[in-house]
Amino acid sequence: MKYRHSFHAGNFADVHKHVTLLALLSALQRKDKGLLYFETHAGRGLYDLGGADSQASAEARAGIGMLRATHSDTAELAALLAASERACGSGAQLYAGSPLLAAQLLRPQDRGLCCEILPPECRALERTLRDYPRMRCLCADGLTALSAYLPPVERRALVLIDPPYEDPALDLQRGLDAISAILARLANAVIALWYPIKDARDLAPWLLRVAAQASAPTLKAQLWVHPTDSRVALNGSGLLLVNPPYEFDTRMQAWLPELAAALGGAAAAGGASVQAGSSLDWILHGH
């Protein structure tokens, strides 16, 4: 069965990923020089949280629903709420995916390219982005397409790698291979690789490979709303951030624990025993 992001749209992992993505874009745009935003697994870009898939999972209530209820003044958390409202209006029934969130931030000197391999999802993505001429859609495997678009003419890029993890071992390895291939073509590329945390013990060998192969500053940002060794399907959300902008870790130390507390509070409200938390560690230190 092919992965359907609509089933998980707006969950705690999406919120973690999207707050980080917008913060990365904003930090990179402190410089006037343009950049290429490239996304490998884009999905349809806009999701109906009232649809059958989302209603069946109810994951958004403990994700974007909880963040909306917190009304945080922290800049990075507030930025996601504002971007979501611009994209979806004030209604709580829609959730903007990463392509739409990024498209709103692209400046005239920036470009975006979002890849989606499933034809129906790609056609939906084209409709979602029709009012954003700076963003193009490509119906292809983004990891395969990367080599044709790097290095970009701008010589600056932000690449989001967000595989479906239908085959977790394969997708983790492909993500690691993609990081090496991107850096070989553009050494200063900023890369965000998302990965699921189901059982942290299963991730340990892969994280050791990440550390062994790291050739650029790499930051590991994790957020969990269940113990990372529990039998829940998805306990946490992880991001590898390669070449993060200057002092990005300092800002993330401020907002990541706040985000974990808000999302963990949502799980606790449901009566579960929650051990929410977050961590931020350099795998290879930079700056």
Given this model, what pLDDT does residue 271 score? 45
Residue 56: pLDDT above 70?
A: no
Given this model, what pLDDT does residue 107 score? 98
Task: Let me know: does 42 contact 114? Beta carbons within 8 Å.
Answer: yes
Encoded tokens for 140: 């292809």
In angstroms, the CA 80 to CA 263 distance is 14
pLDDT band at 266 (very low <50, low <70, confident <90, very high): very low
Query: Over pLDDT 70: what percentage of the chain?
Result: 90
CA 273 to chain centre: 26
Catalytic member of 14, 162, 171, 249: 162
Task: Let me know: does 10 contact 155? Beta carbons within 8 Å.
Answer: no
Q: Residue 150 CB: number of other CB atoms within 10 A?
A: 18
Given this model, what pLDDT does residue 60 score? 83
In angstroms, the CA 113 to CA 119 distance is 16
- Give 32's Cβ-side CA count (13 Å radius): 0
User: Residue 244, preceding bond cis, omega within 30 degrees?
Assistant: no
In angstroms, the CA 162 to CA 99 distance is 12
Q: What count of residues does the chain have?
A: 287
Give the count of domains, the chain: 1
Residue 267: pLDDT above 60?
A: no
Identify the residue with better confidence: 52 or 157: 157
In angstroms, the CA 252 to CA 270 distance is 27
Identify the residue with better confidence: 87 or 105: 105
- Domain of residue 202 covers 5-284
CATH classification at residue 59: 3.40.50.150
Structure confidence by residue, pLDDT tens digits, 146-156:
999 999 999 99
Of 47, 49, 45, 40, nearest to 128 (Cα)? 45
Task: Let me know: does 267 contact 62? Beta carbons within 8 Å.
Answer: yes
Q: What is the mean pLDDT of residues 278-284?
A: 95
Q: Can 281 be counted among the known catalytic residues? A: no
Identify the residue with better confidence: 73 or 156: 156
pLDDT band at 287 (very low <50, low <70, confident <90, very high): low
Residue 285: pLDDT above 70?
A: yes
Residue 268: pLDDT above 50?
A: no
Structure confidence by residue, pLDDT tens digits, 175-207:
999 999 999 999 999 999 999 999 888 899 999
Q: What are phi and psi of 285, to 5 degrees?
A: -70, 145
Residue 227: pLDDT above 80?
A: yes
Residue 134: pLDDT above 60?
A: yes
Residue 67: pLDDT above 50?
A: yes
Given this model, what pLDDT does residue 204 score? 93
pLDDT band at 3 (very low <50, low <70, confident <90, very high): very low
Determine if the pTM surpasses 0.95: no
Identify the residue with better confidence: 245 or 70: 245
Position 191: which residue type? Answer: I
Given this model, what pLDDT does residue 7 score? 66
In terms of C-beta density within 10 A (0-12 exposed, 13-18 middle, 19 or more buried), how is residue 25 classed?
buried
CA 265 to chain centre: 21
Q: What is the mean pLDDT of residues 121-143?
A: 96
pLDDT band at 58 (very low <50, low <70, confident <90, very high): confident
Of 85, 81, 67, 133, nearest to 106 (Cα)? 133
pLDDT band at 1 (very low <50, low <70, confident <90, very high): very low
- Give 202's Cβ-side CA count (13 Å radius): 15
In terms of C-beta density within 10 A (0-12 exposed, 13-18 middle, 19 or more buried), how is residue 167 classed?
exposed
Average pLDDT, the chain: 89
In angstroms, the CA 105 to CA 269 distance is 34
